[in-house]
Structure 1
Amino acid sequence: MIEMQYQDVVELAKRRGIFWPSFEIYNGLSGFYDYGPVGALIKDNIINTWKYIFVELEQMALIDSPNINPEEVLDASGHTKVFTDYITYCERCGEAYRADELIKKKMPDYEFTTYDDMVKKIEELGIKCEKCGGNLSRPEKFNLMLSTKIGPGKGKTSYLRPETAQGIFINFLPYLRYFREKLPFGVVQVGKGFRNEISPRQSLLRLREFNMAEAEVFFDPEYLEWKGFFQDMMDQRVRLLTNRGEDVELRLGDALKKGIIKQQPIAYFIGLTFRFLKNIGIDTERIRFRQHHPEELAHYSKDCWDCEVETSNGWIEVTGIADRNQYDLKQHIEHSGADLYILKKLETPKNIKVKRFKGNEEKLKSIFGNEWERAKKYLESLEVTNNQIIFQGKRIPEDAYSIIEYDEKEEYTKEIPWVIEPSFGIDRILLSLLEHSLYTRENTGYKVLRLKPHISPYKVAVFPLMPKDGLDKEARDIERILRTENFNVYYDESGSIGKRYARADEIGIPYCVTIDYQTLKDGTVTLRERDTTQQERLGKDELPEKLRRLILKCLTSI
C-alpha cells in the first residue's frame, strides 16, 4: 500500500468530480472552489456525522441564520476593527502577501507572537517578493471581511459573515426560552463563512468562501461543566502542545487536574473533536491539539486550543475550541441595549436599596437620534457605578440621566452567560481526510480512496457482469430495491468488471454487488469489500440488511 500526497489528491479530485477551481472558463478566481457530484456527497456525509454527534447525541439545537450581517452586528462583535491579518506589498511590482505565511514557507513551525518579531523575522530571513524579487513593505493590518450594500440607493452597509457565531449570540433570548431557561445548553449552526484572504492557496486549505460547523455552548459562569453523552470522555488520551512548549500525551482528566486545560468543557470538546475526526476516518496518529499563545488569541478569546492534522502540507488547523467567555453577549448588550442575561434565583430574597439610572429623553434624542429608546433601555438596565457609560461607541454624559433610589426586594440576580465554542472547518477536514485515505494498491497500481462506509459518496455499487442476457435487467431491479431501502447506489455497466471495480474504489465506494449468470439461477449475488477485495456470495434479499449493519457499525463507533 503506497500512501498518496496532496498533489495526488488534487489530481484525483478534479478527475473524479470531488472538487475543482471555480469559474474556470473565465480564468478562475483564487480562493473559490466547487464541489462536484462526488465531493458534495462526501461533504454532506461529514456534516451529517457532525450533526449526529452534536445534535442527536449531545442534544444541542440546530439553527440557521443569514449569511449577511448588518454593520451594527459586526461593530458590536469587534470584527470591523480587529478581524485582520498582516499584509505586505512588493515595492516594485505591487504583489500582495500575507506576512506570516511568507515566514512559514522558510520556518514551517513559526507562530506569530508580536508584530516586531514578525518584522524582524522577515528581515533576518531575507524574504523578498516571490514574483519579482523586490523588497517588501512594512506589514500593515488588512481587514478580512467582505462588504456589500443592502437595499437601493446608498444602501445599508453590511458584510458577508466571517463566522456563523454572531447569528447565534444575537438570538440568545429565544434559545434561552427554547431550553426553558436552563443552562448549560448548546446551539449549533452549519453554513458558509467568508474571509477576504490575502493569499488564498492550496485548494481547500485557504478559501475566501468556506464551510463551517460551529457550536456555541452557554453556561452559568459559576458552573462551567458540560455533562455530555460520553461519560468516559475524561479517560480519552490526546496529544497536547501547550503554550509553554510542552508536547505531551495525556488523559483529558489528567490534563485538567494538572491545569494544562483550564476548563472542563474545553477538555470535553477536545475529546469530542478527537472522536469525531477518528469516526470519519482521520488518522489518529496525526492529530494533535495546540494551545494558542496569548499573542495569537482572537479578540474575543481567553483561551483556545486548535485541533491540527498532519498532512503533506504540514500541520493544518481544522478545528478551534475557544473560551469566548462573556465577550460577545456583553458586547451585544452594550451596543443594542438588549437584555441578554440569565436570571438566577437567590436562596434568600434580600431587601435592598436600589439606585438606578433614569434617562433624560430629550438629551438622549440629541445624542442618539432614532436609537434613543434603545440607549435609554440599556442605560436603565445598568447598575449604578462610577464607570463611564458607553452605548454604540458613544459616551452617555452625566446630564443625560439622573439617579433615583428606592427600596426593592431582590429575588433574582442577573448574569451574563459564559460561552465555550467548538468551531470546525469542514473543507480542511475533507481535504485532510482525502489525503489520509488515498493510497495505491501495490499489486495493480490502481488508486483507492479508503473512506468509511458512512462517509463514502455511494454506499454500494451495482454491476451486471455483462450488459446483456438479462443481467442488466436483474441488476437494475436490485439497484431499485436498494434505492427503495434508502441506499445511495452507484450503477455502472460499461467496461470490464475489473475496471468498474477500480472506478468504484477510486471514489471510495465500500461495497460492490455483481450480478452474474448464477444470479439468474438461484438469486445470489457477489458482494465485494473494497479494502480487502474479498468477495462473498449471498442472496439478493439479504443485501439490504447486511449493508445496513455494516454501515451503521461505522457510524455508531464513536
Structure 2
Amino acid sequence: MSEGEADGATDDRSADLTELAKRRGFFLQSAGAYGGVSGFYTFGPNGAGLKDNIEDSWRDRFTVREGNVEIDAPTIMPEPVFEASGHLDGFDDMLVECPSCGESHRADHVVEDNTDYEEAEGLGPDRVGEIIEEYELVCPTCGTGLAGQAIEDFNLMFETNIGPGSSSPGYLRPETAQGIFVEFPQLKEYARNQLPFGVTQIGRAYRNEISPRKSLLRVREFTQAELELFVDPEDGEGPDLDSVVDVVAPFYGVDQQAADDGDPLDITVGEAHERGLVADPWIAYYLGVAAEWYDSIGVDMDRFRFRQHQSGERAHYAADCWDAEAEVDGDWIELAGFAYRSDYDLSKHDEYSDEDFTVFRQYDEPITTERPTVDPDMSSLGPAFGGAAGDIADALADLAEEAPDAFRDAESDTDGEGTVTVEVDGDAYDVPVGQTGFSVEEVTESGEHFLPHVVEPSLGIDRALYTVLDHCYREDEVDGEERTFLELPASVAPTTVGVFPLMDRDGLGEEAREVAADLRERGLSVAYDDSGAIGRRYRRQDEVGTPFCVTVDYATVGEARDDDEGEPGTVTVRERDTTAQKRIAVEDLAETLDALREGDVEFADL
C-alpha cells in the first residue's frame, strides 16, 4: 500500500469512527442546534457510560489499590493560586495570525503538520518562525503565506470574576493538580505527616485552545485523572518494583529518538530501570502500572509506547518526564504524562501563601547543633534608621543564618566595635555589631521540616476514551453480511448485556423483561431490545461494544418447540467477538455474566 493509500485508509477509518460515535451516542459536538462550538463535546448515553467505566477503572487502580485518597476541588480558583503556580506567566501556546483571513493558528501545529518536525512546541517561537519562513508555510484556512508574521504567546486559561465586579479575578483550572497542592497543609494532617502518601482527583479542566482539532484529541474542556504522590527525597526505599518488574513495554528514550534508525526498546520495566533509562524508581513503577492499566481498558499495546521528554520539552523543575503515547489516525498522541516535579509546586505555594507546606522529618537520634541568632537592639536601630529599622532587623536575621562569619569577623577584627552590612531594597546599611545581639546557641533538634517532592502520573480521560474506540474498532463478515463492532473489554463496555425476546409474543416479551430487570438489580448494565429481526438486534449491540447478548426463547419459558432449543429454564448467551453461543440456566445467568465481566471466567470455558 502506498503512502497516499495509507493516509486515505486512515482518513476513512477516522470518518467511520466519528460517524459511528455520533450515530450511536458516544460523543458529538456540543450546541449543534446553534451551529456547534469548537472544542466542546457532549458525551451521549454510550459515551458517558464508557467514560464513567474508564474513570472507575482508573480510580480502582490508582486510588483504591494503591491505598491513596481522593479529593474533589472546585474548577474555579482565585488568581493568586495561578500566580504562585506560574500559570499566569508561563501557560502559553504559540499563536500566529493570518494577515489575510484573520484566522489564528498554533504556530507549532502549522510546522508539525507540514514539515518533518514532530515536536515543534519545544523549539521556541523564534525557531518556529524561522521554520515557517524557510518552508514557506501558509495559512491552513485560506492559503496565505505566514512568513514574517509575529508569533505571540497566548495564555490558555479561561478568566472569570468571582462575585460581582472585577475586584476578585479567578480562572477555570487548566489542570486538576493545583486543587491538590493548595490543600496540602490540610491533606498532610489527614495523612499524619507520614510519607509517601498519594492524593488523586478526577475532574474537568479547561484550556482555551487556539485551534481545537481532531475530535476529542484537542478540546477546550476535558477530564483529567491525576495522582500527586508526595515523597521524602531522602528516603532511599522507594516503591516495591516487584509487582511491575516483568511488565514489558516499548520505551522510546532520548537516545533512541536521536538515532537515525532509533526504535523503541521492547524491554521490561525492571530492565529500563536497571539500565538507567528510567532512572527514578517511582516513575518506573507508575509506567509499569499504567502499561497494564491501558492494556486492560482496550488500548492496543502494539500501537503504544512510552516516550521520554527531551531536554527542551521538560519543565525546568522536572528531573525526568515520560509520556504514554498511542498511535491514532496515523499520528502519535499523548495519553498521559509521568513527571518527577521535585518540590517546585509546594515551594511556590509555601512562598506565596501564609500556610506551611513542609513536613516534619524525625531524626533517628537527636542532633545537637550550633545555631547563630540575632536579637537586634531596636531602641538603637529605630532612631538610627527610622522606618527601615524593621526590614534591617529581618535582613540581619537572614545574614546570621546564611553568613554568620560576617558577625564573627566584625567582632574579632575590631574588638567588638565593627559593623556588618545588610542590603534592604537596594540600599546598604552598616549596623554596629554590638547592636545586632548576635550570638551562637547550642540547640538540640529531634528532626527538621522539609518540602516533600512530588511524583505525578497525569492522564487525559477523553483521549483515553477516543483511543480505546479507535483501537477497538473492527470490521468483519458474519453469515455473509458485513459487520462493524467495538471489541471493548467487558469491564469498560457501556452496556454489559443486551436482552432480547426471540419475538414479543407467547409470553416471551414478559419473560425477557423480567430477566432484564433481574440483571439490573444485580448491578449489570442492560439494554432491552425487541425491535426487528434478532440478527439486526445483535448487530446494533455489536456496534456499541456490548460484549454479551441474551435471547429468551420458548425453552426459557418451558415450551420448547423442538429438541434443538435447549433445556427448559435456559437462555442463549451470545459472545460478541466470536458470535459463539451457549445455553445458560436463568438462575445462574446474573452470576455468570458478572464473572465474565470481571474476567473471572472465559466464555469458552462455560
TM-score (structure 2 length as normaliser): 0.83
- Give 1:366-445 correspondences, 5 Å limit: 384-385=401-402, 406-443=441-478, 444-445=481-482
Conserved in 1, the CA contact under 8 Å of 2:72 and 2:202? Answer: yes
Name the larger-Rg structure. Answer: 2
1:135 aligns with 2:140: no
Q: Is 1:448 paired with 2:485?
A: yes
The answer (yes or no) to whether the contact 2:239–2:281 under 8 Å persists in 1 is no
1:404 positional shift: 6.4
Whether 2:335 is the aligned partner of 1:318: answer yes
Partner amino acid for 2:57?
Answer: T
- Which letter does structure 2 place at the counterpart of 1:254? E
Pairing partner for 1:14 from 22, 46, 59 = 22
Question: 1:44: which partner in 2?
Answer: 52
**Does structure 1 retain, via aligned residues, the 8 Å contact 2:595–2:601?**
no
* TM-superposition CA deviations, 1:13-45 (whole Å, max 9, x none): 000100000011111111000000110000000
Q: Find the residue that maps to 2:464 and give its secondary structure.
A: helix
Higher relative contact order structure (alpha carbons within 8 Å, sequence separation ≥ 6): 1
Q: What do you get for the CA RMSD once the two structures are aligned? A: 3.0
CA–CA distance in structure 1, aligned partners of residues 588 and 598 of structure 2: 16
Alignment partner of 1:231 is 2:242: yes
Alignment match of 1:205 (pick from 217, 224, 229): 217
Change (3 A) 1:309 1:383: farther
The SS at the match of 1:295 is: coil
Q: Secondary structure at the match of 1:168?
A: helix
- Are 1:194 and 2:240 an aligned pair? no
Which of 117, 121, 124 is 2:127 aligned to? 117
Cα deviation 1:241-268 (Å, max 9, x = unaligned): 1123253222222222221112000011
Residue range with higher mean Cα deviation, 346-355 or 93-102: 346-355
Provide, for residues 152-211 of structure 1, a one-character-per-residue CA deviation record: whole Å limited to 9, x for no partner: 122411110011111111121222222222111111000011111010011100010001
Deviates more, 1:109-118 or 1:330-339: 109-118
Q: CA deviation at 1:383?
A: 8.8
CA contact (8 A) 2:14 2:329 kept: yes
Cα deviation for residue 51 of structure 1 reads: 0.6
For residues 475-519 of structure 1, what are the alpha-carbon distances to aligned partners after superposition, in whole Å with 9 as ceiling and x for unaligned?
011111111111111101111111100001111100000011111
Q: Which amino acid aligns with 1:493?
A: D
Q: Which moved more, 1:513-522 or 1:176-185?
A: 176-185
Check the 8 A contact 1:6/1:313 in 2, yes or no.
Answer: no
Is residue 2:92 matched to residue 1:99?
no
- Contact kept, 8 Å, 1:460 with 1:509, in 2: the verdict is yes
Q: Give the aligned length.
A: 537
* CA deviation after TM superposition for structure 1 residue 338, in Å: 1.9
**Runs of at least 5 residues in structure 1 that lack an aligned partner in the other structure:** 388-393
User: Where do 1:258-337 residues align within 5 Å?
Assistant: 258-337=275-354
**Structure 2: gaps of 5 or more residues:** 1-8, 405-423, 559-567
Q: Residue type matched to 1:140 in 2?
A: E
Quick one: distance in 2 between partners of 1:382 and 1:196?
Answer: 45
Does 2:535 align with 1:498? yes
- The residue identity in structure 1 corresponding to 2:107 is A
Letter in 2 for 1:106: N
The reply on whether 1:549 has 2:595 as its aligned counterpart is: yes
- Per the alignment, in what secondary structure is the counterpart of residue 441 of structure 1? strand
How far has the Cα of 1:299 moved from its partner? Answer: 4.9
Distance 1:299 1:31 in 2: 29
3-state DSSP class of the match of 2:272?
helix
- The Cα shift of 1:398 comes to 8.6
Counterpart residue number, 1:240: 251
Distance in 2 between residues matched to 1:49 and 1:358, nearest whole Å: 58
Q: Which residue pairs with 2:561 in the alignment?
A: none
Q: Distance between the aligned counterparts of 1:284 and 1:344, measured in 2?
A: 42
State the alpha-carbon separation in 2 of the partners of residues 439 and 70 from structure 1: 47
Q: Structure 1 counterpart of 2:475, which letter?
A: T
Identity of aligned residues (%): 41
1:391 counterpart residue number: none
Matches within 5 A, 1:345-360: 345-355=362-372
Question: By how many angstroms is 1:72 displaced?
Answer: 0.4
Which residue pairs with 1:516 in the alignment? 553
Matched, 1:164 2:176: yes
**What letter is aligned with 2:96?**
T
When residues 257 and 398 of structure 1 are mapped into structure 2, their CA distance, relative to the original with a 3 A threshold, is: farther
Distance in 2 of aligned mates of 1:555 and 1:71: 52
Match for residue 36 of structure 2?
A: 28
Aligned partners of 2:116 and 2:484: how far apart in 1?
30
